[in-house]
Amino acid sequence: MHFRRSLALSVVALLGAVAARRSPEDVEVLLRGGTIIDGTGAPPRVADLAIRGDRIVFLGDASKASLAPKRSIDVRGLVVAPGFIDPHTHTQGDLGSPDKRERANLAYLMQGVTTVITNNDGGGKLEIGKTLDAWTKNGIGTNAALYVPQGSVRGAVLGMSDVAPTAAQLDSMRSLVRRGMEEGAIGMSTGLYYAPGSYSPTEEVIELAKVASRFGGIYDTHMRDESSYTIGLIGAVNETIRIGREAKLPVHISHIKALGTDVWGQSDTVIALMRAARAQGVDITASQYPYDASGTSVGASLLPRWAEVGGRDSLRARIADGPTRARLTKEMELNLKRRGGPASLLISSTRDTSILGRTLDQVAAARHESPIDAALQIVQQGDASVASFNMNEKDIEKFMVQDFIMTCSDGSAGHPRKYGTFPRLLREYVFTKHVLTLPQAIHRSSALTAATLRLPERGTLAVGNFADVIVFDTATVADRATYREPTLLAVGMRYVLVNGTLAIDGGKFTGAMAGRALRRAIVTH
């Protein structure tokens, strides 16, 4: 396959060279003299890159070719790389917004991200075809693709009840997954930590993953446990491997981490398990964001899942009932300990501005109540997003250097990762701490992700590929978003081209809505 493709490309190049001798070849954009880091992990080299239509049509020494560019840009001293691909975002709202500025997906474009995946964690709309069509019709700033969200599938059939499905209910769920896959989803996502996905037994998940498998889809998971809540981090990794083995499809662990002191140091075991599974033929990979805080809500981080069975009203009734509240409080205290205590939870997004930017510790002290009572009150008033400081730098770096672990943002309200992930990886882990080389960091943010998600003709700079291309300055590329100011746009991206169109030109958004709705590639097996 690889051989045949390179043979085909050299024939194209040969024909191109013959044509070039006759007359200058029209190209739209020529990037001259940049330092090419092509996404494969190969070392940097200086070369020119030309784009016509939505494709890269030339990569080499333009002085030896005969090119007639409409626009020629001097990019000497700058890095030219494939646009970054983010396998885990929460951009459904942005991309579906009536507001063009939100659909432009600037939070990502300014980081050099040209493709985002969404409907992760098992959540989001089930209407895959309709969503993809709306993106095409209304215009979006980056490319985007969707998962069929398993939590929504279960919710549609079983609501918030903690029961195993009947054969007929399982069939209904299968047909919802099938419909999503037929409409172009790239696979199925789960959020087995969250209700209602948490109520799904492993066997049910396997049955649904088999449907995605038949369509050549992949399985993406926010695992049942990243800590020591239920089956433990190691148990959850084993569950993911089992799903991959029995449903016969690639499995991808989203935002891999060792959450909380109970499991710090378990990165070694997790990596060993993944390596062993890979050696046995299970295609298991993971993504990671370069921050030591996760982003979640007060409820999701502290409430035990039994408290959420039946939905909001049932939760309220449990909180109001003395003995149930006592049991709830006890379990929440344990969960708070897992999270590192009340000073480790920073309220990052909420309607109640009086608690914004404060830790749960500070909120409780100001109200003269216990952290759990304060948390229960927040949950009852509609909940709040938190940045949860729960990771250890050693685990982060051990995961980061694995050649099957790639970059994701998991961007969400109230966490700087939505605006900063990719430049932060470069600034912090390439230029400051030297954990990765620049070609490695670019590889794990582009080609590795494209291969894992089965996105053809993207992720590397190669003739014939879609022209998702970024140009940045290594001296200035940086994230600016912080936990206190999480929506500051990143800096340093000089040019960002999406499908051959300049979306960022000279560091500024051009207004172009050049993104495409990406449908699962047709597979035949």
Shortest reach from residue 294's CB to Zn ion, in Å: 8
- Within 287-316, which residues bind Zn ion (CB under 5 A)? none
Nearer to Zn ion, 121 or 308 (CB): 121
The runs of H, that is alpha helices, within 139-182 are 150-158, 167-182
| Residue 204 is a binding residue for Zn ion (CB under 5 A) | no
Q: Rounded to an integer, what distance in angstroms lies between the CA atom of residue 471 and that of residue 92? A: 27
Strands 385-389 and 293-297: antiparallel
Shortest reach from residue 227's CB to Zn ion, in Å: 13
Nearer to Zn ion, 52 or 222 (CB): 222
Size of the site for Zn ion (CB under 5 A): 2
Nearer to Zn ion, 118 or 460 (CB): 118
Shortest reach from residue 189's CB to Zn ion, in Å: 9
Nearer to Zn ion, 89 or 143 (CB): 89
Shortest reach from residue 221's CB to Zn ion, in Å: 9
Residue 486 three-state SS: coil
Stretch that binds Zn ion, among 109-117, 160-168, 219-227, 457-465 (CB under 5 A): 219-227
If phi over 0 gives left and psi between -120 and 50 gives alpha, with beta otherwise, what is residue 410? left
Record the tokens describing residue 241, joined without a space: 């491997």
Please, are residues 307 and 336 in contact by the beta-carbon 8 Å criterion? no
Shortest reach from residue 415's CB to Zn ion, in Å: 11
Nearer to Zn ion, 48 or 121 (CB): 121
Nearer to Zn ion, 108 or 495 (CB): 108
Nearest CA to 450 out of 435, 465, 438, 463 is that of: 465
Say which DSSP state 431 is in: I
Shortest reach from residue 293's CB to Zn ion, in Å: 13
Stretch that binds Zn ion, among 21-29, 150-158, 214-222, 295-303 (CB under 5 A): 214-222
- Within 79-138, which residues bind Zn ion (CB under 5 A)? 121
Say which DSSP state 428 is in: I
Shortest reach from residue 426's CB to Zn ion, in Å: 23
Record the tokens describing residue 376, joined without a space: 């229960």
Nearer to Zn ion, 300 or 496 (CB): 300
Q: Rounded to an integer, what distance in angstroms lies between the CA atom of residue 99 and that of residue 503? A: 17
The one among 103, 154, 222, 458 contacting Zn ion by CB under 5 A: 222
Please, are residues 246 and 213 in contact by the beta-carbon 8 Å criterion? no
Q: Which residue is nearest to Zn ion (CB)?
A: 222
Record the tokens describing residue 112, joined without a space: 């050099």
Please, are residues 141 and 104 in contact by the beta-carbon 8 Å criterion? yes
The runs of H, that is alpha helices, within 62-200 are 92-95, 100-103, 106-109, 128-138, 150-158, 167-182
What residues make contact with Zn ion under the rule CB under 5 A?
121, 222
